[in-house]
Amino acid sequence: MRRIVVKFGGTSLGNGERIRLAASSVRKEWRKGTQVAVVVSAMGHTTDELLEAAREASGGNLQARDLDDILAMGERTSARIFAAALRSLGVKARAIDPGMREWPIITDSSFSRAKVDERRTEERVKRYLEPMLRERAVPVVCGFLGRNLKGEVTTLGRGGSDTTAFILGKYLNASEVIIVTDVEGVMTADVNEFRDARLLDSLTALELRELGRFGARVMHPAAMNYKLPQMDAKVIHFRHGDLSAPGTTIKGGILGSDKMEVTLHEEPIGMLTVVGEGMQRTPGVLLQAISPLSRRGLNILGVSIGPRSFSLYVWQKDLRKAVELVHRQVKKSRVMKSVTSEENLAMVVVESEEFIDTPGMIAKLTSPLAREGINIVEILSSRASISFFFRWEDRERAVKVLKGDG
Ligand code: ASP
Ligand code: MG
């Protein structure tokens, strides 16, 4: 039995005609005997409009609880219109809204960025949505919305209807999740800026999550945390009016979920550092130092740049060779003055979406390390990851502490 979850983004529901096109693409699949659950965003720019009106109307004094309840009206409306469109096409359909007993998505009470209660949600998806699918009805679920234990409406954060789709896909054990949007799929760059951007046939769930974390709007990064490896998924353009359109396939999955991920690299790492005051004002210095390493096939695991030095991280077994190669360049250069190195380092990478918008995350991670007397040799950070370097002998204790069970 084929079972799919299809999510329609705002643009694909921009007007009545588009909603009808979307509904008929669902009907086509449903007539083949496929069980279909639909997730809808708000029509067009409804969410932005509601947000602006609510803010203006309340003179900048809007309660988060009220705002979520107001924004929810976008999805609550589009679910009803979509279900009506399906019924007009002879498909049994039902709008599923947070006001109903059958509402599946249960969250905590952090309005505007609510966290999903996975246990309760799974149980409700199985209890309420699954039987509808078996009876050949199409549930049309409001994306982006949740409900807390008091029965109040919450939202999962802007763009959150992607997350709704993958949550339902996971707990319904769907064979495929299809994201219908206003681009052909995932592109090599933003097509609005780069006309020559190419469509990707496929990428992995981890790659797509990273793109989302670093600002691409094609998919909400949190959605990928619910992508199971065995589940197919793709992003397609609404203009085809056809759910079998090719688009971009999302491969693999992410085991675990939105919890913080802590990874220890199993081999010791070496660091080499080049010092020179004039380096930062001289173009091409880094390339000059690094290119002999790449010609020899030495892998660089990390780079950090300070005001008068830069460091390269390599596997310890490559360190000696790396220093030798860089040293040759240092001798030829006027701005690179001297190279030094350190060995027996361990690299521990911590990844979490929370880093993106939660203040104080570095302090939260480093203060327990300080309390345990574990020295941090170096920290590198990107928007969604923090790489710690410890002495090799401290690695296991450090991992324990970072995981919060030190
Ligand atoms: N309508 C919501 C938003 O505009 C959620 C979504 O589209 O995913 O952010
Ligand atoms: Mg959207």
Q: How far is the CA of 87 from the centre of ligand 2 (A)?
A: 25
Q: Would you kindly state where each structural domain of the chain is located, as residue ranges?
A: 3-251, 261-402
pLDDT band of 110, cuts 50, 70, 90:
very high
pLDDT value at residue 105: 98
Checking if the pLDDT of 268 tops 70, the result is yes
Structure tokens belonging to residue 299: 């892998």
Structure tokens belonging to residue 127: 């209890």
Q: How far is the CA of 347 from the centre of ligand 2 (A)?
A: 37
98 lines ligand 1 (CB under 6 A): no
Checking if the pLDDT of 311 tops 80, the result is yes
Q: How far is the CA of 39 from the centre of ligand 2 (A)?
A: 12
CB 67 within 8 A of CB 47: no
The average pLDDT across 241-260 equals 85
pLDDT digits (tens, 9 = 90+) for 22-42: 999 999 999 999 999 999 999
For residue 324, give the H/E element and its range: helix 316-332
pLDDT digits (tens, 9 = 90+) for 172-186: 999 999 999 999 999
4 lines ligand 1 (CB under 6 A): no
Checking if the pLDDT of 383 tops 90, the result is no
According to CATH, the superfamily of the domain at 261-402 is VC0802-like (3.30.2130.10)
pLDDT digits (tens, 9 = 90+) for 333-352: 999 999 999 999 999 999 88
Q: Same topology for domains 3-251 and 261-402, yes or no?
A: no
Q: How far is the CA of 107 from the centre of ligand 1 (A)?
A: 17
pLDDT band of 9, cuts 50, 70, 90:
very high
The average pLDDT across 85-94 equals 98
Sign of CA dihedral 130, 136, 142, 148: negative
111 lines ligand 1 (CB under 6 A): no
Q: Which protein residue has the closest C-alpha to ligand 1 atom 6? A: 159
Checking if the pLDDT of 14 tops 80, the result is yes
Q: How far is the CA of 28 from the centre of ligand 1 (A)?
A: 26
Class of domain 3-251 as given by CATH: alpha beta
Checking if the pLDDT of 48 tops 90, the result is yes
CB 219 within 8 A of CB 206: no
Instruction: Give the amino acid at 297.
Output: G
Range name among 43-52, 164-173, 220-229 with the lowest pLDDT average: 220-229
Ligand 1 atom closest to 158 (CA): 9
pLDDT band of 258, cuts 50, 70, 90:
low
Checking if the pLDDT of 398 tops 60, the result is yes
pLDDT value at residue 73: 98
Instruction: Give the amino acid at 66.
Output: D
388 lines ligand 1 (CB under 6 A): no
Structure tokens belonging to residue 142: 């409001």
Checking if the pLDDT of 360 tops 90, the result is no
Ligand 1 atom closest to 74 (CA): 1
CB 83 within 8 A of CB 20: no
104 lines ligand 1 (CB under 6 A): no
For residue 211, give the H/E element and its range: helix 205-213
Nearest one of 271, 341, 268, 342 to 300, comparing CA atoms: 271
pLDDT band of 194, cuts 50, 70, 90:
confident
- Nearest ligand to the C-alpha atom of residue 45: 1
pLDDT digits (tens, 9 = 90+) for 61-78: 999 999 999 999 999 999
Checking if the pLDDT of 254 tops 90, the result is no
Checking if the pLDDT of 326 tops 90, the result is yes
What value does the mean pLDDT of the chain take? 94
143 lines ligand 1 (CB under 6 A): yes
Structure tokens belonging to residue 122: 């799974």
pLDDT band of 387, cuts 50, 70, 90:
very high
159 lines ligand 1 (CB under 6 A): yes
pLDDT value at residue 353: 80
pLDDT value at residue 399: 95
The average pLDDT across 390-395 equals 95
Count CB-CB contacts under 10 A for residue 376.
16
First-residue to last-residue Cα distance in the chain:
46
CB 282 within 8 A of CB 292: no
